[in-house]
Structure 1
Amino acid sequence: MTLTSIHIIAFGMIAEKIKTKELVLEYMPDTEVLLGYLYQQYPDLQHTKFSLAINKKMAVGKTAIPVGAEVALLPPFSGG
């Protein structure tokens, strides 16, 4: 991982769809750019509901991604 990269961690069915649990990507400024990249590289994700967490905080809408961030791709989950 470089100083200008972001670390992606995928869980559950999201990891299955992208065929890996971890990715290291060049820096992307926000969640819209990241999602555009992911949808282009992994078209199956376009029809899959999932959430993003940046540095362990849920991201809502267009959210800035800090350099060196850890971004989690989280499948839908239910509590109990």
Structure 2
Amino acid sequence: MENQIKIKAFGMVAEKLGSQELTLSNPGNSESLTKQILEEFPGLRSVKFSLAVNKKLCSERAEIPVGAEVAILPPFSGG
């Protein structure tokens, strides 16, 4: 059970996953995690989403430390 990460999903991403929380093995970085999520949940391929690691948005490949809090965020609509 070590090296597992909890992932919280929001909005339409959570709807596509059918859950607001997932536990997956930690692939080590945000790029690999995105690939892993898309392989396990092909329905997300049609949704543009962002990853946040420890409340920081990942704009490029970011390391995911052990015990990190990861969020999958739907597209934001500006006001």
TM over 0.5: yes
Equivalent residue number for residue 74 of structure 2: 75
RMSD between aligned residues: 1.2
Q: How many residues align?
A: 79
2:24 corresponds to:
25
Identity across aligned pairs (percent)?
49
Q: Which residue of 2 aligns with 1:50?
A: 49
Name the SS for the 1:16 alignment partner. Answer: helix
Tell me, what secondary structure is at the counterpart of 2:35?
helix
Q: Using the alignment, how far apart are the partners of 1:38 and 1:4 within structure 2?
A: 16
Extract unaligned runs of 5+ from structure 2.
Answer: none
Deviations 1:3-30 (A, max 9, x none): 4211100000000001100011112200
Give the ranges of 4+ consecutive aligned residues of structure 1 lying more than 3 Å apart after TM superposition.
none
Looking at structure 2, the residues matched to 16 and 57 of structure 1 have their Cα atoms a distance apart, in angstroms, of 23
Q: What TM-score do the two structures reach when normalised by structure 1?
A: 0.89
Q: Report the AA paired with residue 15 of structure 2.
A: E
Structure 1 unaligned runs (5+)? none
With the length of structure 2 as denominator, give the TM-score of the two structures: 0.90
AA paired with 1:55?
N
